[in-house]
């Protein structure tokens, strides 16, 4: 219904362009929009089906054979399931986009109508990003309503373990992992791929040199993705066959090796491809511009070439890898920041929250610096076309990144199945170890998604500015319209995050009340009395479903309406300020929220695995104490009267663990709803502006109804 309704809006507004009514452009753009939306939905559905099928296999694999075999087979089951999702989404997106471009090339003369052709293709990116809005926002609200509700009602209120079958919200929690972390992440990265490709195509179509070089040169962005799929497919055998997982310590190493080898292989493979398909030199602009630039210095004219294209792609590849590893440093309990965060629980939940927020804010420094460097390098070499190339480079290892991302929720669900099935503790220990590595790699994936979203959004802004031809002299921050909407755009990510956070809170409250009601009204459920009536899982699933559908409407309307209203009333310069402001503040907010939540999660897991020791006064054993402790008698003191101190390992149920659970519960909507959903705000608002550019230009020559000059 949404696709059909919004498709009609796209057709009507896009057809009403600056040069009069053009029904052909409106229809073709709307058809591309519908195609992109349907492709994203199919990819998400396939991903969820794969995850559901694979998580049970992962559990069974962890329960059979000697330890080394169980580790290898359970990891391989989860990783191969993620790989199928990665290759299916990447391949399907690439295939559908190429077929659509070929069909449209029959309707437009490539040599003379390339601009119109690729403007219509931009609708494909809009469709993919619109569905990503549902996957990220709706899916995030669904999964975190169930997760937070299950944690609060189960671990905090009732004191029962995670994924305990007595908890009515357990099934909804496990379903939510697939909805938010599989379909949501997949649709987000699919949208990034489609939008980055569309931005590069729109900018390339403005260059007479690239169009003159031929079809293969203009659609070079698709070759980047095609090479990425082949490289990732070749590298995928390393983790499962050549360097298999043998124990817990090797899991993270194997996953990081996959990512590093994919990046290295992609870098080596792209050099000959760039030399083959890109001209030695070309100018970015119209025929008049290119003619005027001949013989002038590159500081006067924006030019590019095969080597510059390769440098931009390589910058994106290695920048994405560096952002991923920095994210891992701040979110993995193998490193100091998360261990320091775990130690802060010694003094309660409040200090844990304070340390977690500080960690998230600090974690933005290096990724933002890397993004700034990538933008500077790519822009200095090939202007905004270079930024689009850089974004596509960062997305070049999309298949591997998706495989690693989907691996996490598969292992999480495998652990839930082991708990609910009552399998031996060693099975749950294996799935927990796989899941802990999955949490870290999921954080890497979120950092990668945010970094690529920032570059994609910037490339889309560049395509918008290039298409509208309104800022030939550059962006003037002292222009009242630009500066005013720069501030408004900077506010939008916070407004958007407030909506999504509150939505999770509202839905979680409903879930907790329902779980407590069932504990109170179903005899023997909480106590686990044999023969008790089963919990009503369907009721909890309905609460999450209804909440996600109801609560996602306001944030979705904000993202969709903000650029359309701004462009209609205030013109394209105001839209430029709005998009730039949303990008600048959105990147910081998304990184800090995602890393804060991921760090709290892994700090809790670090305590659960017994990694945290705290010094406490030694006490004598009283007559009521168990032989193994803890002892509650008098404090043992030294000769000088000071208490003797001993190190006590913290486990589940300790006061430190309870404080960590509070941090983890607060961080859940940050890392899985608000943080990742800001990606959609940055990208969707930019692609909407690009698609509706001609409509904005038709209103007082791009100055809006208020005719701001």
Mean pLDDT for 359-365 is: 96
- 528 pLDDT above the threshold of 80: no
Work out the pLDDT band at 383, boundaries 50, 70, 90.
Answer: confident
The 10 Å Cβ neighbour count of residue 20 is 8
Q: Is the pLDDT of residue 65 over 80?
A: no
Residue 631 included in any domain: no
**Per-residue confidence (pLDDT) for residue 248, from 0 to 100:** 80
- Mean pLDDT over 157-172 rounds to 78
CA distance 398 to 196: 12
Task: Evaluate whether residue 443 is within a structural domain.
Answer: yes
Among 82-86, 120-124, 365-369, 639-643, where is mean pLDDT lowest? 639-643
For residue range 388-405, list pLDDT tens digits in order. Answer: 999 999 999 999 988 988
**Per-residue pLDDT at 470:** 58
d(CA 220, CA 308): 14
pLDDT band at 579 (very low <50, low <70, confident <90, very high): very high
Read off the pLDDT of each residue in 438-466 and give the average, rounded to a whole number. Answer: 84
Predicted local distance difference test score (pLDDT) of residue 156: 66
More confident residue, 248 or 41: 41
Task: Provide the domain count of the chain.
Answer: 1
Rounded CA-CA distance 472/467 in Å is 11
Reported confidence tier of residue 318, pLDDT bands at 50, 70, 90:
very high
- Binned at pLDDT 50, 70 and 90, residue 429 comes out as confident
In this structure, of 127-131, 486-490, 578-582, the range with the lowest mean pLDDT score is 127-131
Confidence band, pLDDT 50/70/90 cuts, at residue 303: low
pLDDT value of position 678: 94
Q: Does residue 637 lie in a domain region?
A: no
**87: number of CA atoms within 13 Å, CB side?**
14
Asked whether the predicted pLDDT for residue 298 surpasses 70, the reply is: no
- Per-residue confidence (pLDDT) for residue 474, from 0 to 100: 61
Whether 431 maps to a domain, the answer reads: yes
Q: What is the pLDDT of residues 538-552, one digit of tens each?
A: 998 998 899 888 988
Residue 287 has pLDDT above 70, yes or no: no
Arithmetic mean of pLDDT, 419-441: 80
Over the stretch 67-118, which tens digit does the pLDDT of each residue have?
778 888 889 999 999 999 899 999 999 999 999 999 999 988 888 788 889 9
- Residue 189 contacts residue 228 (beta carbons within 8 Å): no
pLDDT, the chain, mean: 87
pLDDT band, very low/low/confident/very high, at 299 (cuts 50, 70, 90): very low
Taking only the tens place, the pLDDT of each residue in 590-608 is: 999 999 998 998 899 899 8
Task: Supply the pLDDT for residue 136.
Answer: 86
Residue 412 pLDDT greater than 50, yes or no: yes
Q: What is the mean pLDDT of residues 305-322?
A: 94
Residues 623-631 have a mean pLDDT of 74
The CA distance from 194 to 690, in Å, is: 13
- The answer to the question of residue 162 being in a domain is yes
> Which structural domain, as residue segments, surrounds residue 320?
2-291+301-612+650-702
Q: Is residue 625 part of a domain?
A: no
Q: What is the mean pLDDT of residues 153-181?
A: 79
pLDDT bin (cut points 50, 70, 90) of residue 297 is very low
On whether residue 634 sits in a domain, the answer given is no
pLDDT at 447: 82
Can you tell me whether residue 270 is helix, strand or coil? helix
Contact 669, 140 (CB under 8 A): yes
Q: Tell me whether residue 624 is in a domain.
A: no
Question: What gap in Å lies between CA 217 and CA 209, rounded to an integer?
Answer: 10
pLDDT of residue 18: 64
pLDDT value of residue 473? 57
Chain center to CA of 62:
28
Query: How many CA atoms, within 13 angstroms, populate the side-chain half-sphere of residue 272?
Result: 4
Using CA of residue 267, residue 271, residue 276, residue 278, what is the dihedral sign? positive
Model confidence pLDDT, tens digit, residues 477-503: 888 989 999 999 999 999 999 999 999
Minimum mean pLDDT among 203-217, 372-386, 521-535: which range?
Answer: 521-535
CA atoms of 125 and 502, how far apart (whole Å): 29
């Amino acid at each position: 219904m949404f696709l059909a309704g919004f498709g009609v809006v796209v057709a009507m507004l896009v057809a009403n362009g600056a040069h009069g009514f053009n029904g052909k452009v409106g229809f073709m753009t709307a058809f591309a929009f519908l195609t992109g939306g349907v492709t994203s939905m199919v990819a998400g559905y396939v991903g969820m089906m794969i995850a559901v099928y694979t998580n049970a296999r992962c559990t069974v694999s962890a329960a059979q054979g000697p330890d080394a075999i169980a580790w290898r087979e359970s990891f391989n089951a989860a990783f191969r399931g993620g790989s199928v999702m990665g290759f299916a989404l990447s391949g399907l997106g690439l295939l559908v986009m190429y077929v659509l471009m070929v069909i449209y090339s029959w309707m437009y003369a490539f040599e003379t109508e390339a601009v119109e052709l690729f403007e219509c293709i931009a609708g494909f990116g809009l469709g993919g990003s619109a569905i990503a809005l549902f996957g990220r926002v709706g899916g995030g609200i669904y999964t975190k309503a169930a997760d937070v509700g299950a944690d609060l009602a189960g671990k905090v209120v009732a004191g029962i373990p995670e994924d305990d079958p007595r908890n009515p919200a357990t099934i909804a929690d496990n379903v939510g992992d697939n909805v938010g972390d599989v379909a949501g992440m997949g649709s987000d990265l699919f949208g990034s791929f489609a939008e980055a490709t569309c931005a590069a195509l729109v900018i390339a179509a403005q260059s007479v040199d690239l169009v003159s070089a031929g079809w293969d040169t203009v659609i070079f962005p698709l070759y980047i993705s095609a090479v990425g799929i082949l490289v990732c497919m070749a590298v995928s055998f390393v983790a499962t066959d050549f360097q298999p997982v043998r124990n817990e310590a090797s899991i993270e190493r194997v996953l990081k090796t996959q990512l590093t080898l994919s990046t290295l292989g992609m870098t080596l493979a792209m050099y000959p491809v760039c030399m083959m398909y890109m001209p030695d030199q070309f100018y970015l602009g119209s025929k008049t511009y290119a003619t005027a630039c001949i013989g002038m210095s590159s500081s006067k004219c924006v030019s590019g070439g095969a080597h510059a294209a390769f440098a931009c792609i390589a910058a994106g590849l290695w920048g994405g890898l560096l952002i991923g590893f920095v994210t891992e440093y701040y979110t993995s309990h193998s490193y100091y920041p998360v261990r320091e965060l775990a130690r802060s629980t010694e003094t309660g939940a409040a200090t844990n929250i304070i340390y977690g927020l500080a960690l998230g804010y600090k974690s933005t420094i290096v990724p933002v610096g890397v993004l700034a460097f990538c933008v500077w390098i790519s822009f200095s070499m090939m202007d905004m076309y270079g930024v689009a190339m850089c974004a596509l480079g960062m997305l070049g290892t999309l298949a591997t990144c998706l495989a690693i991302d989907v691996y996490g929720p598969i292992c999480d669900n495998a652990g839930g199945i082991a708990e609910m099935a009552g399998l031996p503790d060693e099975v749950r220990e294996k799935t927990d170890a796989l899941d802990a590595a999955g949490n870290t790699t999921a954080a890497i994936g979120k950092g990668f998604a945010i970094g690529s979203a920032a570059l994609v959004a910037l490339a889309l802004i560049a395509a918008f500015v290039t298409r509208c031809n309104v800022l030939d002299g550059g962006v003037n921050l002292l222009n009242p319209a630009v500066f005013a909407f720069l501030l408004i755009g900077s506010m939008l990510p916070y407004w958007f995050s407030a909506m999504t956070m509150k939505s999770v809170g509202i839905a979680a409250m409903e879930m907790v009340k329902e779980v407590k009601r069932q504990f109170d009204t179903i005899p023997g459920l909480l106590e686990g009395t044999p023969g008790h009536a089963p919990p009503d899982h369907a009721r909890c699933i309905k609460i999450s479903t209804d909440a996600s559908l109801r609560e996602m409407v306001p944030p979705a309307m904000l993202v969709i309406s903000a650029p359309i209203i701004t462009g209609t009333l205030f013109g394209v310069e105001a839209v430029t300020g709005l998009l730039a402001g949303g990008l600048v503040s959105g990147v910081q907010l998304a990184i800090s929220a995602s890393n804060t939540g991921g760090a709290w999660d892994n700090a809790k897991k670090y305590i659960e695995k017994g990694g945290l020791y705290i010094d406490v006064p030694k006490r004598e054993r009283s007559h009521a104490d168990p032989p193994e402790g803890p002892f509650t008698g008098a404090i043992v003191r030294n000769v000088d009267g000071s208490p003797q101190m001993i190190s006590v390992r913290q486990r589940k149920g300790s006061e430190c663990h309870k404080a960590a659970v509070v941090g983890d519960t607060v961080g859940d909507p940050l890392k899985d709803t608000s943080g990742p959903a800001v990606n959609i705000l940055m990208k969707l608002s930019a692609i909407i502006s690009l698609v509706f550019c001609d409509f904005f230009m038709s209103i007082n020559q791009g100055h809006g109804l208020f005719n701001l000059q």
